[in-house]
Amino acid sequence: MARSVGERYALVAGATGLVGGHLLDELLRSDAYGRITVLARRPVERRDERVSSLVVDFEHLEDAPAVKGVTDAFCALGTTLKKAGSAAAFRRVDLGYVTAFARLAARSGASRFVLVSSVGADEKSSVLYPRVKGEAEREVRSLSFEAVHILRPSFLLGERSESRPGERAGIVAARALSFALAGPLARYRPIEAGDVARAMVAAALSPETGIHVHEGADLRRLARAR
């Protein structure tokens, strides 16, 4: 049965990141969500009575109690190998934290799960980053949500709180070559973080069930739907 406006309850992980910050803004712009709980290491300050923070230890998220009443879960968790410091630490965040959050969302009764992954995600890849992203997708797919939406953006555009010179160089190169990224290569075009956030909310509000992967033009179509 369709839920009426204002009755949806969002559970969010990764709200302090680039996409996650925009996601929280988009959820607050939507009149569909009457409650929003943000999982974070420290309280997230938003001047809106619909938003509450749940301070958690992501290392022990598997032990966290269910959050009653959740309808939609949004995961924008992620780090970089450089920031994590090692392959094991990167894997712990991008696979371990994501998987633990998805299981918490399932225990909390969420019917829809929206995950920010990455273009090229492939659990069989010989390269660490796409392999871990693909493994995280596999774990999310295995859970009993009515709908799973996996978003696979390429380079993310937007103002970050920390400096990432290598990524900035990649973005400049991708922008310069965007005209050449056509057909199957169009999925590698850079995309604004705000557009990814809009696509996340549009996907959650879609009546579609089952597993859906969005990248390239489809990701931009979802963003425009908001």
Give catalytic residue positions. 129, 133
Residue type, 51: V
Distance CA 132, CA 129 (A): 5
Per-residue exposure over 138-174, b if at least 16 CB sit within 10 Å of its own CB, e if not: ebbeeeebebbbbbbbbbbbbeeeeeeeeeeeebeeb
28 class by beta-carbon count within 10 Å (0-12 exposed, 13-18 middle, 19+ buried): middle
- Which distant-in-sequence residues (6+ apart) come within 8 Å of 63 by Cβ? none
Across-strand partners of 192? 157
Encoded tokens for 83: 């920031």
**Strand ranges of the sheet holding 8-13, from the earlier edge strand across to the other edge:** 51-55, 33-40, 8-13, 72-75, 112-116, 147-151, 210-214
